[in-house]
């Protein structure tokens, strides 16, 4: 049964058909028995207020970066000047699509090393009718983006340290390992981003990266980089922002 979101109170007066109840019961049984995340069963979730298709080829969208996008990254950049955005490690394309909705004059590159993930991103790009402004690109970090520069680079890369990977709840085993595992300290991908991002940022451009529980390791590894650690009203953390000029000054 398709329901609007948010649903009016009148929805709760409806009678659920027997077939729908049976289908729901089957989904619940699989959720309990196989520990499959709900959104992989329904193939649908929401990110920054937007519906997204997801399956096991991509990480489940849950980044607090959604909150930053809804605020158009204020006060860190003037929204009116933003024309190019890169979502590095796009997965389902949720960050790229939300950015395109927030910055209606910007073009967005949604890059990922996984062809399987890009197939899902393209589904979402088509469904949101953004093919003219959002393009899904195969790229191992910046390797496929030679010569491209952006006002904003945003990334939710792999950041789970090896020692933590095995201890994750069973639900995480349904997500692509490529999108989670990031070496001994969780920083394999972030190191590449910090090393190469400045070359792909325009003057005054900003880099936003989620590192989750690897925040402490990152602080230890880069004590001289002036990260701005962002706070969120709806919870979450481990997200830093740094400007192009700050990155260049520390090289």
Task: Give pLDDT tens digits for 114-168.
Answer: 999 999 999 999 999 999 999 999 999 999 998 899 999 999 999 999 888 888 8
**13 within a domain of the structure (yes/no):** no
**126 within a domain of the structure (yes/no):** yes
Angstrom distances, CA of residue 102 to CA of 2, 127, 229: 26, 17, 22
d(CA 119, CA 91): 9
> Which CATH number fits the domain that encloses residue 186?
3.40.50.150
**17 within a domain of the structure (yes/no):** no
**217 within a domain of the structure (yes/no):** yes
Question: How many domains are contained in the chain?
Answer: 1
Does the pLDDT at position 87 exceed 80?
Answer: yes
Helix (H) or strand (E) holding 163: helix 162-165
Please state the pTM of the whole predicted model. 0.90
């Amino acid at each position: 049964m398709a329901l609007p979101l948010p649903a009016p109170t009148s929805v709760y007066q409806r009678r659920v058909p027997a077939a729908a109840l049976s289908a729901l019961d089957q989904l619940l049984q699989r959720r309990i028995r196989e520990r499959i995340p709900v959104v992989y069963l329904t193939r649908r979730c929401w990110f920054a207020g937007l519906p997204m298709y997801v399956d096991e080829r991509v990480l489940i969208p849950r980044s607090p970066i959604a909150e930053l996008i809804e605020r158009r990254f204020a006060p860190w950049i003037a929204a009116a000047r933003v024309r190019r955005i890169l979502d590095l490690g796009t997965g389902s394309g949720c960050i790229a699509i939300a950015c395109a909705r927030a910055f209606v004059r910007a073009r967005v590159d949604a890059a990922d090393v996984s062809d399987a993930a890009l197939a899902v991103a393209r589904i979402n790009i088509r469904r949101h009718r953004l093919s003219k402004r959002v393009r899904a690109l195969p790229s191992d970090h910046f390797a496929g983006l030679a010569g491209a520069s952006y006002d904003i680079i945003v990334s939710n890369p792999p950041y789970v340290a090896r020692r933590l990977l095995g201890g994750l709840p069973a639900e995480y085993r349904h997500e692509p390992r490529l999108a989670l595992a990031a070496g001994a300290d969780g920083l394999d991908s972030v190191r590449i981003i910090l090393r190469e991002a400045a070359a792909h940022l325009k003057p005054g451009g900003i880099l936003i990266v989620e590192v989750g529980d690897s925040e402490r390791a990152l602080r230890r590894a880069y004590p001289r980089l002036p990260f701005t650690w962002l706070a969120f009203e709806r919870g979450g953390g481990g997200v830093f922002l740094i400007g192009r000029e700050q990155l260049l000054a520390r090289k």
